[in-house]
Structure 1
């Protein structure tokens, strides 16, 4: 259990269905394993990573369904977030709203604007183009929406060896909302200027989103939900943090390259190594401070505390 029971949740915070938004030109950013594999293979074969989402509209999309329509009407209290994955994503989004609604104005003098959060199955049309389940979770800056196909979370366990614990799943949601924080702070576009390599802007962008996920974890069990004196999450345990670190490790470029191609090629990295992803999450978790997540100024990405 990670959520305090009996707290009210607004099911309308998260939408469900095939998705909206028109075709756009901006690249979506994601922490999902499927998206990383697609990007790695695209880069290895000399492709344009910016075209990945748009090119997923062909045969692969034809074989999938647009996804369910409806709502999360069953997710009215936080009790459901402890048993139902879709409700857990909703609860995590609400927790992120509480944390960033408090900390972003305090630390950056920027008012937090809630991103949209959308669940889909199969394929979805977004402001960044059409995407399928293969992309994994991603954030589209054009429509300021984080997209999740809930089947990804089982894939993360079955194919990539992540823990199936709740905070492993919640870390993924927090990472994608971390991209929204970057969007608000004006950093998200830097990834496109330098899209690959162990020290690239793309890697630095993804590691910063990991660090922002750590900041959320720092405050998630202390900042009260609006109108209450309790946070959405119960006190996090060491095991919870290990679950998050397990998920971060499972989507490291080196681990995925080794599993998919049998070798590691840092020149084509887009998200960072397993070790780096874990270390930047911990940097955010231990400090709770945006200024400790400046991956763009870090001389050594494997040593956040060393600058």
Structure 2
């Protein structure tokens, strides 16, 4: 997806966070996100043993999606609103941080109109490690949403890993990731996000249904993204193209449970799924995109998750 070159960017919805290095103590208990599978992926990419994953550890703290969320008084320390390089749509087309700034503007503009009770949520772009309302996290966790502080956390280095997994590296493949995390914010506002904790593995699990709904919400945003206006009331994004949709689908395919399992352990085990298969993720993204209607994203009552 391409930003209009002379569109105006505002950076007040995105903050810089993180101090670099590792983290100690407990790990992050995040509410949801594409990052849940990435621990297994990173082990694979660095030559480790992926047996027993997903799950794993992060710098000495277990990534535990079942434990109560942890409040951390230091959650927002080290953040700032300084993205001086991000002024125009041309900057967003060239710089990944600026692309994230522009994406957040568009996604939140969409949900402000589509969801009556929407409350804005910031994104924190970090390097190395970051303290959050859900605990400490480092880059190996991947992008995630923390419901305690209603914030999306993202190390843009994740996009390099996504490309190595099969994503095509295009702008919309990256923007899809951010839109997916904002889908979890919508789920938190509606109370649906908690259902991912009740049934956390398996092809029909609450966890899988939660992730597929977030994919569908991302598709619904894409269908309306070109209607976003910048601070000057001008168009922020150019119309979407079929090639750009294929780019988003390449990212959805790359983070499917079956693809990750086949890559890391050479076999597919549906009973261990937490995010859905590649085909399911692509299908639900397209449900959102084709209908442009988030009300069609009810994965919890769908007769089949396969379409």
Normalised to the residue count of structure 2, the TM-score between the two structures is 0.85
Runs ≥4 residues deviating over 6 A:
66-70
CA 1:15 to 1:223, structure 2 compared with 1: closer, same or farther past 3 Å?
closer
Matches within 5 A, 1:273-292: 273-292=277-296
Paired residue for 1:12?
12
Cα pair 1:197 1:267 within 8 Å, conserved: yes
Which digits, 9 at most, give the CA deviation of each residue in 1:25-83, with x for residues without a partner? 853311135156489x9x97399x5xx6xx524299xxxxx999772111022210000
Matches within 5 A, 1:10-49: 10-18=10-18, 26-32=29-35, 33-35=37-39, 37=41, 45=52
Q: What root-mean-square deviation, in Å, do the aligned CA atoms of Structure 1 and Structure 2 show?
A: 2.9
Gaps of 5+ in 1: 61-65
Matches within 5 A, 1:116-135: 116-135=122-141
Q: 1:102: how far off?
A: 1.1
Matches within 5 A, 1:18-167: 18=18, 26-32=29-35, 33-35=37-39, 37=41, 45=52, 55-58=57-60, 71-105=82-116, 110=117, 112-158=118-164, 160-167=165-172
Cα pair 2:253 2:281 within 8 Å, conserved: yes
CA 1:126 to 1:57, structure 2 compared with 1: closer, same or farther past 3 Å?
farther
Partner Cα separation in structure 2 for residue 45 and residue 154 of structure 1: 25
Which digits, 9 at most, give the CA deviation of each residue in 1:263-285, with x for residues without a partner? 00000000000000000000000
Cα pair 2:27 2:136 within 8 Å, conserved: no
Paired residue for 2:229?
224
Which digits, 9 at most, give the CA deviation of each residue in 1:68-122, with x for residues without a partner? 97721110222100000000001000001111111112xxxx2x21111001111
Per mean C-alpha deviation after superposition, the further-off stretch among 240-249 and 74-83 is 74-83
Gaps of 5+ in 2: 20-25, 63-76
1:188 to 189, 193, 209: 193
Per mean C-alpha deviation after superposition, the further-off stretch among 170-179 and 70-79 is 70-79
Partner Cα separation in structure 2 for residue 67 and residue 168 of structure 1: 28
Which digits, 9 at most, give the CA deviation of each residue in 1:151-198, with x for residues without a partner? 11011112x011111000000010011100111111111100000000
Partner Cα separation in structure 2 for residue 197 and residue 73 of structure 1: 45
Cα pair 2:28 2:136 within 8 Å, conserved: no
Per mean C-alpha deviation after superposition, the further-off stretch among 178-187 and 216-225 is 216-225
Partner Cα separation in structure 1 for residue 12 and residue 40 of structure 2: 30
Partner Cα separation in structure 2 for residue 27 and residue 166 of structure 1: 25
Partner Cα separation in structure 2 for residue 280 and residue 296 of structure 1: 12
Partner Cα separation in structure 2 for residue 113 and residue 24 of structure 1: 27
Q: When the two structures are aligned, how many residues end up with a matched partner?
A: 284
Normalised to the residue count of structure 1, the TM-score between the two structures is 0.85
Normalized per residue, the structure richer in helix is 1
Q: 1:3: how far off?
A: 0.5
